[in-house]
Amino acid sequence: MDKIQLFLKKFSEMTFKGKGAFWGICLAVLILVLVYLFSDRIRKWVKNRTKPLILVPVLMLAVFTVLFINTCNYVPLDSRTPEEAYVWEQLTKSSKNDLAYQTDVKNPAAGKAYEQTYASADILGHLTSKEPSEFVSSDYTFVSTDGATGITFLTDGTYRVRVSEGEAEETGRYVYADKVLTLTSDADGAETKVGKTSTKLRYTAALTDPATGKAYQQEYSIKGFRELFVIETSVESVAEEVTVTSADGSTALTFRPDGTYSFAALDGGAEETGRYVYRNKTLMMSNSEGKEAFWKNFRLQAGWLVFAVFVAVAMTLIFVYNARIKRFMSKHPLVWLIIPAALLIYFVYVAIGWNIWVSVSDWGQTEDKINASYGWGGFGQYVKMFNDPDFWNAVLNTLKLFMIIPICLLLGIVLGLIMDQKLKGTAVFRTLILLPFALSFVVTGLIWQQMFNGNGGILVEFFKLLGITENIQWTGDNTLVMYSIMLVMVWQFSGYVAVIFLAAIKNVPTNIINAAKLDGAYMPRIYRKMVIPQLTGAMGSCITILAMYALRSFDLIYSLTSYTNPASTTLPIMMYNQMYAHNNYAYAAAISCFLLALVLVLILPLTYLTNRRKG
C-alpha cells in the first residue's frame, strides 16, 4: 500500500506539479526517435564519418551538465525572492493556517525525518503588523448595483464618481475614522456616511441623470470595505526571540532576530538550525547553506543528470550501430508500438487508476483541502454520494439528455431522405444543416443564451409576432431549463445525424431500388421496406455518438446556464462544481468514477451491438 501511495504521489508531482520535467522526458524520446530516423542522412551529410557525430551527444551532455550545476548552486535567502525557492525549502504564505516543517535530522523513535505542523499565526504575528488608516492603501473602485456608475477611492483621500456612459464625473474627499467612512462632495458639500456595520453605500450625486432629469441616486455593495483601510507592514526577521510549539507538542521552532532559527525535539532527541526571512508575504526557511545546500540540490535532481547521460549514450549507440539497429527494427516492427502504447497507458489507464485511488483517499478529510493527500480514506465518498439528493438529481438530468436520441434519429432520417431526392440546392442545404455541428459547444451555448434572452432575444421577438407576449424564462425556469438544453443539442446534432444517414442511404445498392421500381413499388414503400432497414448500422453509430455526448455534456451547459443552477446540473457539471467551487477533490473523483461506470454500462453494449451488425 505504501508503494502504491508513493507511486501515485510521484505520478501526481510529475504530471501536475512538474510539467517541465514530464515534457523534458517526451522531448528526449522525440530526439532519440528523430536521430534514429535521420541518422543515415546525417552520416551522409558529414561524409559517412561516425566520429564527428559522437561529438553531438557529448556537447549536448556538456551543456546540460553546466546548466544542471548552475541550477544546483544555492542562492542565499538574503538575495532572492520566494519564487526562486528550492524544492526542499519551507515556504509559508501569510494566508495559510499552518506551517508544515520537515527536517533533515531523523526522529530516533520513528527512524525517519520529523514532519511537524505549527500554527503560522504564532510566528507571522511577530513579523507583520496591521494599522488602521484614514485612506485606502491602494486605489479601489466600486461599481453600482445597476452598473450605471462607479466610485473610485484614491490613496490621496479623494474619490471620484464616474458615469459609465459619458465623461461626466463628480469628485470629493473621504476619510475613515472611528470605523465610520465619511464622503464629502466637492460640488455641493453634501456628506454621506457609512457605519461600521453597513455593507451598502447609498450615494446621491450632484450629477443629473439625462434619462430621468434627476440626480443620480446609486447604491454600491461595499462588503468588506474596512479591509481597504488597513496598512500592513512587515519585517524580515523578528524583533525578539520567539518560540512556537508543534501541534502535537513534541517539537519547537525558535526564531531569532539575526535571521536564524533552530528546531529542537523537546525530549532532546534531535536538533537542527537554519536561516529564515519573511518577504513578499511569504516566510522562507532553509536548513542548509553553501556546499551543503548545493549537494542537497544535487542529490534531489541527480536523476536528471543520469537521464541526460542515458540519452547521450543512446544517441551515440544509434550513430555507431545504426545499421544493426535498423535490421533489428525491421525484424521486430512491433517495437515501434512501445512508445504509443506507453503514452496510451500513461494518459488513459494510469490516469483512470489515479482517479479511482483519489476517490478512496483521505484527500479533503483534513482542514487543508487544497494540497493532495493519498492516504487510505475508505469508501466514505461513495456513501456520501449515494446519500446525496443533489447527486441523484444530477443523474436524472444526465439521463434526461438521452431523450435527444430518438428526436435526432427521427429528424436525421427525414432530412437524409429529403437530401436523397436530388433536389436543386441540396449541396447548400447539406452544408447549412451540418454547420451547427461544426460550431464549438461554447459558441453554441453563447448563441442560444442570447436567443433565449428575455430582453430582445430572437425567440421572444418571434413569439411576439405570433401574439404570445408572455416572457418565457427558457433558462431561468427550473421546469424548462433541461428542455431548453435538449432543444439546443437537437439543433446541433440533427444535421450531423442526417449526413450519416444520407451516406448510408447512398450505400444501398441501386439495382435493388431499380428492380423495386420496375415491379411498381412507390418510393415511400421502397424507403420503408428496403432503404430504412439498411440503416441499422448507421443508426447504431448515431445512437452511440449521441449517448456519449449526452453523458459528457459540460461546456454547452456551462456556457448556456452556468454551473450554479441545480435544475440544469448534470454529472460533469456537479463534478466540476465539487472540485473547483468546493475543493472536494475526492468527492469529485468519486462522481467521475460513477460517470465512468455509467459510460461502460451504457456505451459498451451499444458499441458491441453496432459492431456485430456491421460484422
DSSP string, 179-232: TEEEEEETTT--EEEE-TT--EEEEEEEEEPTTTSSEEEEEEE-TTGGGGGEEE
Same-domain status, 111 and 164: no
163-172, 179-188, 403-412, 471-480: least confident range: 163-172
Q: Which residues contact 482 (CB under 8 A, 6 or more apart)?
A: 397, 400, 401, 567, 568
Please give the Cα distance from 537 to 535 (Å, whole number).
6
CA distance 470 to 454: 10
Residues 6+ apart with CB under 8 A from 453: 460
Q: Which of 43-52, 104-113, 152-161, 451-460 has the lowest mean pLDDT?
A: 43-52
Indicate if the pLDDT at residue 614 is higher than 60. no
Do 204 and 215 form a contact (C-beta atoms < 8 A)? Answer: yes
Q: Same domain for 215 and 114?
A: no
Task: Kindly tell me if the per-residue pLDDT of 192 is higher than 90.
Answer: no
pLDDT tens, position by position, 551-566: 888 888 888 887 777 8
Picking from 232, 251, 268, the residue at the C-terminal end of a domain is 232
Q: Are 571 and 548 in contact (CB under 8 A)?
A: no
pLDDT in tens, 134-151: 888 788 888 887 777 788
C-alpha cell at 429: 442545404
Contact 287, 245 (CB under 8 A): no
138 and 252 co-located in one domain:
no
Q: Which residue has the cell 432530412?
A: 415
Residue 358: inside a domain, yes or no?
no
Q: How far is CA 523 from CA 36, 295, 423, 426, 539, in A?
A: 61, 84, 15, 19, 21
CATH code of 453's domain:
1.10.3720.10
User: Cell 526571512 identifies what position?
Assistant: 277
**Residue whose entry in the numeric block shows the C-alpha cell 515501434:** 336
| Beta bridge partner(s), residue 131 | 231
In a domain, 362, yes or no: no
Q: Give the Cα separation of 177 and 162 in Å (integer).
A: 25
Sign of CA dihedral 564, 566, 571, 575: positive
Q: Which of 540, 541, 531 has the alpha carbon at shortest distance from 507? A: 531
Tell whether 207 and 277 lie within a shared domain: no
- Does residue 381 sit within a domain? no
**Phi, psi for 577 (deg, rounded to 5):** -65, -45
351 domain-assigned: no
C-alpha cell at 362: 483521505
Kindly state whether residue 425 falls inside one of the protein's structural domains.
Answer: yes
Nearest CA among 171, 220, 173, 185 for reference residue 200: 220
350 in a structural domain: no
Of 272, 287, 302, the last residue of a domain is: 287
**Domain identity same for 507 and 409:** yes
Does 435 lie in the same domain as 529?
yes
Number of domains in the chain: 4
> Over 60: is that where the pLDDT of 9 sits?
no
**Which pLDDT score is estimated for 15?**
46
Same domain, 421 and 312: no
φ and ψ at residue 98, rounded to 5 degrees: -145, 165
Do 423 and 502 fall into the same domain? yes
Q: Are 588 and 487 members of one domain? A: yes
Question: What's the mean pLDDT when you consider all of the chain?
Answer: 80
CATH number for position 200:
2.40.128
What domain range is 148 assigned to? Answer: 131-232
Instruction: Give tens-digit pLDDT for 256-265.
Output: 999 899 999 8
End-to-end CA distance of the chain: 44
End-of-domain residue from the set 344, 361, 381:
344
Flag whether 94 is in a domain. yes
pLDDT above 70 coverage of the chain, percent: 86
pLDDT value of residue 288: 84
* Pair 472, 574 in one domain: yes
Instruction: Please answer whether residues 507 and 470 qualify as being in contact, where contact means their C-beta atoms are separated by less than 8 angstroms.
Output: no
Residue 171 forms part of a structural domain: yes
Q: What is the dihedral of CA 48, 54, 60, 62, to 10 degrees?
A: -150
* Minimum mean pLDDT range among 80-84, 157-161, 346-350, 413-417: 80-84
180-185 and 191-194 beta bridge pairing: antiparallel
What global pTM score does this model have? 0.55
What is the structure's pLDDT at 90?
Answer: 82
Query: Do residues 395 and 460 both lie within one domain?
Result: yes
Given a cut of 90, whether residue 3 has pLDDT beyond it is no
The pLDDT value recorded for residue 445 is: 87
**Do 136 and 219 lie in a common domain?**
yes
